[in-house]
Amino acid sequence: MALPDYIINASSRKTHPYHMWDGICSIESNLKTIRDTYEKDDISAIAKELAGKERIYFIGCGTSLYNGMAAQFIFNRIAGMDVSAVYALEFTEFPPLNLQKSAVIGVSHTGGTASVIGALNAAKAGGAYTVGITDVEGSAICAAVDAVLPSYGGREPALPKTRSYLAALMKIYYLAAAVARSKGKNCDDFSDELRKIPEKTGAFIKKIEEPMKAMAANGYKAIYVFGSGFNQGSVYEAALKLQETAQIISVPFELEEGMHGPWVTMNKGDLVTVLHFDGLYQNKSLELIKSLSHIGVDLFVIGNIPSFNEKVKHFFLIEEKEIMTPFYTVLPFYQLAYFSALKKGNNPDFMRFEDEPYLATRLSLPR
pLDDT in tens, the chain (367 residues): 577 888 888 889 999 999 999 999 999 999 999 999 998 878 999 999 999 999 999 999 999 999 999 999 999 999 999 999 999 999 999 999 999 999 999 999 999 999 999 999 999 999 999 999 999 999 999 999 999 998 888 999 999 999 999 999 999 999 999 999 999 999 999 999 999 999 999 999 999 999 999 999 999 999 999 999 999 999 999 999 999 999 999 999 999 998 888 889 999 999 999 999 998 889 899 999 989 989 999 999 999 988 666 678 899 999 999 999 999 999 999 999 999 999 999 999 988 888 888 888 888 887 6
How far, in whole angstroms, is CA 196 from its chain's centroid?
19
Is 367 among the domain residues?
no
Q: Does 88 lie in the same domain as 211? A: no
CATH number for the domain that contains residue 124? 3.40.50.10490
- Give the range of the structural domain holding residue 285, as residue numbers without chain letter: 199-344
Parallel, antiparallel or unpaired: strands 55-60 and 83-87: parallel
Q: Does 150 lie in the same domain as 28? A: yes
Handedness of CA 324, 327, 332, 333 (dihedral sign): positive
Is 359 among the domain residues?
no
Q: Does 190 lie in the same domain as 45? A: yes
Q: What are phi and psi of 58, to 5 degrees?
A: -100, 130
Q: Does 123 lie in the same domain as 59? A: yes
**What is the model's pLDDT at position 6?**
84
Is 354 among the domain residues?
no
How many angstroms separate the CA atoms of 118 and 196, rounded?
37
Handedness of CA 175, 180, 182, 183 (dihedral sign): positive
Q: What is the DSSP letter of 95?
A: P
Q: Does 138 lie in the same domain as 41? A: yes
Is 27 among the domain residues?
yes
Q: Does 218 lie in the same domain as 162? A: no
Question: Element (H or E) spanning 129, and its range?
Answer: strand 129-133
Q: Does 303 lie in the same domain as 233? A: yes
Q: Does 133 lie in the same domain as 224? A: no
The residue type of 273 is T
**What is the model's pLDDT at position 150?**
83
Cis peptide before 17 (omega within 30 of 0): yes
Domain count, the chain: 2
Q: What is the pTM of this model?
A: 0.95
Q: Does 220 lie in the same domain as 153? A: no
Q: Does 295 lie in the same domain as 217? A: yes
Q: What is the DSSP letter of 265?
A: G
